[in-house]
Structure formats: C-alpha cells, structure tokens
C-alpha cells in the first residue's frame, strides 16, 4: 500500500520522542556505553528480553528514568491471565511508559486490569513472521486481516495501543483512527530489506506516513559506525516529516 501523508499521527507527541531506540544487546555495560554515546540524541529506549535476562533490566530501567528518559519494557508477557496480571502489577510504578502483552482476550484483560499509569501495547503479529511462517504455525490466515482483528479487540478490552508492522499500520489508522497508539518496529533502510530476521519492514518515512505514532529502531543505529550521527539523522528525518505536515 503506498504511503498516505493524511495518515500522519496527530497525537501531541514531540517529534524527538517518536524514535524509540532498542537496546537489544548482551550486557548492561554495552547498553550504558551506547546510551552515553547517544547522549541527548535519543530520549526513548526499549528494554527487551535479552537485557532483562542479564539481571540488570530493572537497574537500567531505574537509571534511564532517573536520567529523564522514557522506557518501553518489551517482554511480551504471555502466560495464564493471573500470571500476566501479576507481572504487570510488578512492573507498574517502576517508571516504564509502555509494556507489551502477547495473548488472547483474557490475557489482555488481565494486563489492563493492573496497568495503572503503564500503557499496555498488544502484540499483533511479530514483524519477523510472514505468511509462510504463519502457515508453518498452523494458521491459514491473511496477516493484515489478523492484525486488524487483534487491534480492534485490544482497543475494546482497554489496551492503549498495538505493536504492528508498517505494512498494516495504514489499515489500523484508517479503521481505528486516533483511538490507539501504533508502534512500528522493523524499521530498515529501503536499500537494506530484508537483510536479517525482520521480514515485514518499512523505512522511516513510510512507517509514519502509514500512521505510526512511534517507530522502534535497533540495529540500523546501534550497528552504525557512528551511532549518534545515525540517531541524529533519524531524528532529523522525523522532525522534517512532521514539520512539513504541520
């Protein structure tokens, strides 16, 4: 689907906060070094499963929030509803802005019942999966239709937003308007798709023109020769896009 500037997010989010940097690395020391390098070029960070498994996930969360950074805890809670509710209850009040939950209606309901000020993002279909992968898992379904169906249900349940690839973001925005947050991972340069385990990818401008409120970027910035310069380049592209639209 071609980009549509009319779908550009109208939510009152500062342009510099729309870039979420994924700290997908093996140690807290690596993460801290990158955070120091990036300085004020990044204001929003994602902490995922790999870093939490080092035992320093909450330490980094506390350090980042104390430094005035926003934090997205991406652990994709997926378990029986009571366990997911307990996990969200443990996380709320720790300063995180977003958390991801992956599951059916009862799991999402349990998470939302305990969220407090924490925004719950429902995972629709992982961006590392394509139609062939879904068929391998036993699901004979159209991914776009599945994403839209899951987003509608998540919104009705009380979730604050969804994780969706940029491929489906436009359908979500057209169908659901501004009633939920759309967070798009799998951002890749147009000339570098696909070059890794992400399959349903888009570039920065397409993601936002399809309706993303936030984008999550990891390897293209973290793996750059000059991560700060790369982050500043992304921020400039985002700022220009929204300034032109305004």
Catalytic site positions: 76
Contacts for 123 with CB less than 8 Å, ≥ 6 apart: 76, 100, 101, 102, 162, 163
Pairing of strands 19-22, 44-48: parallel
70-77 vs 214-217, strand pairing mode: unpaired
Listed residue (73, 199, 87) closest to 134, CA to CA: 199
Q: How far is CA 141 from the centre of its chain?
A: 23
Residue 155 token pair: 């919104």
Q: How far apart are CA 235 and CA 233, in angstroms?
A: 5
Q: Report d(CA 203, CA 71) in Å as an integer.
A: 22
| Tokens read off for 164 | 């969706």
> How many CA within 13 A on the CB side of residue 203?
11
């Amino acid at each position: 689907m071609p980009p549509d500037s009319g779908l550009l997010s109208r939510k009152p989010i500062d342009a510099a906060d729309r870039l979420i940097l994924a700290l997908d690395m093996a140690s807290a020391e690596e993460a801290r070094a990158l955070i120091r390098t990036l300085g004020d070029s990044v204001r929003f960070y994602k902490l995922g499963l790999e870093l939490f498994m080092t035992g320093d996930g909450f330490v980094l969360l506390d350090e980042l929030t104390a430094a005035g950074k926003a934090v997205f805890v991406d652990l994709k809670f997926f378990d029986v509803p009571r366990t997911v509710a307990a996990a969200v209850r443990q996380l709320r009040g720790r300063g995180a802005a977003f958390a991801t939950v992956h599951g059916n209606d009862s799991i999402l309901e349990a998470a939302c019942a305990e969220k407090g000020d924490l925004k719950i993002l429902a995972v629709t279909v992982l961006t590392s999966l394509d139609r062939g992968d879904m068929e391998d898992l036993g699901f004979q379904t159209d991914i776009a239709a599945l994403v839209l169906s899951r987003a509608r249900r998540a919104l009705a349940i009380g979730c604050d937003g969804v994780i969706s690839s940029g491929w489906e973001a436009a359908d979500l925005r057209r169908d659901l308007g501004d009633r939920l947050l759309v967070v798009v991972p799998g951002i890749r340069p147009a000339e570098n798709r696909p070059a890794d385990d992400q399959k349903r990818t888009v570039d920065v401008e397409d993601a936002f023109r399809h309706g993303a409120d936030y984008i999550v970027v990891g390897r293209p910035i973290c793996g750059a020769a000059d991560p700060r310069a790369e982050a500043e380049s992304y921020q400039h592209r985002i700022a220009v896009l929204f300034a032109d639209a305004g």
